Amino acid sequence: MQGHRTKDFWAGVVYVTLGLATVILGRDLPMGSAARMGAGYFPTVLGGLLALIGAISAARGLLRPGEAVPRIHIRPMILVIGATFFFAATLEWLGLAVALPIAILITASASSTFRLAPVPVVGLVLFTVFCVLVFVRGLGVPMPMLGTLFGA
At residue 105, the pLDDT reads: 96
Question: What's the structural domain count of the chain?
Answer: 2
Last residue of a domain, one of 19, 43, 63: 63
Cβ atoms of 78 and 85 closer than 8 Å? no
Q: Is residue 68 part of a domain?
A: no
* Mean model confidence pLDDT for the chain: 89
Residues 53 and 89 in one domain: no
pLDDT digits (tens, 9 = 90+) for 46-79: 999 999 999 999 998 888 877 777 777 889 999 9
In this prediction, residues 106-128 reach a mean pLDDT of: 93
Domain that holds residue 134: 74-150
Residues 96 and 54 in one domain: no
At residue 89, the pLDDT reads: 95
Give me the helices (H) in the chain, please.
7-25, 41-63, 74-94, 96-108, 118-131
pLDDT digits (tens, 9 = 90+) for 120-130: 999 999 999 99
At residue 1, the pLDDT reads: 47
At residue 67, the pLDDT reads: 77
The reply to whether the predicted model has a pTM over 0.85 is no
Cα 68–Cα 21–Cα 73 angle in degrees, nearest 5: 30
CB atoms under 10 Å from CB of 137, counted, come to: 10
Q: Is residue 123 part of a domain?
A: yes
Residues 89 and 56 in one domain: no
